[in-house]
Structure 1
Amino acid sequence: GRRVVYRGDVGTIRYAGPVPPAPGLWYGVEWDNAARGKHDGTQGGVKYFECQHPTAGSFVRQTAAGLSLGTSFIEALVRKYWIDETGQLVGSIPAWAHENPILRPILDGLARPPAKGTAPGPTSRNLRLGDTALPIEVRGWAQAQTRMAHIDQLADISVANTQVASLDHPELIRTLCPLVDELNLSNNLLTNWAEVTELLAAVPQLCTLRLNGNRLEPRSFVSASLASAATTQLRSLSLNHTDLQWAD
């Protein structure tokens, strides 16, 4: 099932459709935190979906404000490396990106035109350190962001904790990340092992891949992904808190 974030809680969609007599369409969600739910997927005597815990399930309107089904890896890259603190494009974005049929609508949708009299962005910023929430202050942030906008020159990329739900367009990922050898995708909404396999094929120079905190399915793809990794440079694969067991 697809992963979802709602009011800060993360869960897996187990059902999508009507829940009579309530109007509209709903998602039946199995929450990672069982205390967030209300039932086991049963409503009005009807079993809509299964839950591992008897109180892990609840229904959320598909149109609920604040409901997020995540974003793509490419959009997360754009948000982090090409959009500045004021919501404007960093000046060092390659010209070809504006003409790319995949990147152009993302750029147009995310970037805001500069407002008249807009003050310069901050010169420092608090960043996450690794997978943790420990903030570190970076001075000269504007200059650093300009350098980081050259994604194709980066060896270490992190889009942890950005609600990445898909790794689509592997060929564009190859173009954007030709030198990356360490990639942190921890604590996102990834579920598809097949996409991980495609990522490894698209970025064969990758040495370290962190997938901590993602619930990846189907588990039969684990062996396929590892087999794919055997043909690449991958030497470190982190899968902490992914709900996988050694038997998988």
Structure 2
Amino acid sequence: MDPPECQGHSHDHDHTDDLGLSLRQYMDIPRVTCLNEVVAGSGREILKYHQDRLSSTPSLQSPPEDPELLLTIPFTEAVTVQSICICTTNNTSAHRTAAPRKIRLFTNREDLDFDMMHDDLPPQQTLELLPPDHLEGGTIDYPCRPAGRFQNISSLSLFVETNYNSSANGDDDDDDDDEKEENGGTEITYIGLKGKGTKAKRMIVEAVYEAQGMPEDHKVPGDELANHNIM
């Protein structure tokens, strides 16, 4: 199977905001979950700041011979996700890990598990990632489309279905069994989201504030004089 063509995405060799600004500040990091991660908590650690996107450590890995990962990112307020950036290994680590290839995106579902994935739950979008040697030291922003599916969302889930070692890709039919047994799982070094916050949470707080008012807003005329007259 040939890798996807180089189209429909932005090469982000520099920090641009063509596809939105970083949503890192809106990620509810303590509530991030990742199923099938080798090292507990590593799914949170790859949600790095933009300036650290090219750092190879820490990384998120799935077990050997199993490419699947299910990462769910809740947000502290409703956001609009315009693009996603995924940095990964170039298959040079000691454990022969591989870059993710096919990723399915889901919104507003914090109850997902692998059974749902294997039942072919319809995603909001399916991404076919380019091979890591295409990046040449840069990164790629994949637009989230159709845009309406990623507006005002409370969480985003990424299901890594295959990687560039997966036999499902049809790329390793000529490999012998010994070489297949050495293939590692998926490895991801960075996930970044771009878009915009909606300030929905702040608006709710402000609405409650206006409805309740402050104590001084509810003073009864003459109360101050009455208080001064009490001996």
Same topology, TM > 0.5: no
Q: TM-score, normalised by structure 2?
A: 0.21
Q: TM-score, normalised by structure 1?
A: 0.20
State the structure with more CA Rg: 2
User: Does 1 or 2 have the higher relative contact order (CA < 8 Å, sep 6+)?
Assistant: 2
